Amino acid sequence: MKRYKRFLADVKLQNGEILTVHCPNTGSMTNCAQPGWTVLLSKSANKKRKYAYTWEMAVDNQGQWIGINTNNANKIVKGALEQRKIIELAEYNQITPEYKVGDSRIDFLLQGDGMPDCYVEVKSMTLCENSLGLFPDTVTQRGTKHANELAKLAKAGHKAILLFCAQHSGITHFNIASHIDAEYALAVAKAKKVGVEIICYGCNFSSDFIELADSIPNSN
């Protein structure tokens, strides 16, 4: 029905009951949350939670699936890393989540015999405009900080990856949303120049799970 106070949404069940649910998404959620769309919720077993339900996914009027819970992106990517589904990273067999680098935490440190250390930062991409996936959907100082951190790591001789997890089934190609955050776009461009690899993978959706699917090309 509506999203408000960033972390809350009102949802009407099929029986007419209206629930207030937790919305685990700090972005603007542009084109992701129109009243009347179908939503999928999960229920927590934690009885101390004020709101038992969490908004996990949405299905728009065109039948496209959208992953609302941005926290799922790292879980999706971790599962794909463990199953060696990400071609560019398939040779790595040691995965350390939330690795501290400087005053930041990089999502994953990957290591493997005879391989350079690889640092991976994951971003959840849900903004879709005519099949073009865009990131970010709002100004992201945190994202700019992470892009700069990856650039430092690449300059130091490490392998550094910025991985977009496209949690929207309508996305067929992607780009950086420079019209939304020019500073972030500049930081990513500079990172790319010094060796940071920019990759994007789509997702397969069902009512029970989201899993990483195929590589998505850059629109450039």
Mean pLDDT of 11-26: 94
Q: What is the pLDDT of residues 164-214, one digit of tens each?
A: 999 999 999 999 999 999 999 999 999 999 999 999 999 999 999 999 999
Both tokens of residue 36? 């009347």
**Could you tell me where the DSSP H helices lie in the chain?**
72-82, 141-155, 182-193
> At 36, is the pLDDT very low, low, confident or very high (cuts 50, 70, 90)?
very high
Mean pLDDT of 4-19: 94
pTM for the model: 0.94
- In this structure, the strands spanning 197-205 and 159-166 are parallel
Question: What does the alpha-carbon distance between residue 53 and residue 200 come to, in Å, rounded to a whole number?
Answer: 30
Q: What is the pLDDT of residue 28?
A: 87
How many helices and strands in the chain, by DSSP H and E? 3, 15
Q: Which of 166, 156, 165, 167 is nearest to 196 (CA)?
A: 156
Mean pLDDT of 133-154: 95
Helix then strand then coil, in percent of the chain rounded to 5, is 20, 40, 40
Q: What is the pLDDT of residues 94-129, one digit of tens each?
A: 999 999 987 788 999 999 999 999 999 999 999 999
What spatial distance separates the first Cα and last Cα of the chain, rounded to whole Å? 37
Domain boundaries, the chain: 2-66, 72-215
Instruction: Classify domain 72-215 at the CATH class level.
Output: alpha beta
Does residue 220 have a pLDDT over 80? no
Q: What is the pLDDT of residue 33?
A: 87
Does residue 31 have a pLDDT over 90? no
Q: What is the pLDDT of residue 103?
A: 77
Instruction: Classify domain 2-66 at the CATH class level.
Output: mainly beta
- What residues have CB less than 8 Å from 72, skipping those under 6 apart? 56, 124, 167, 210
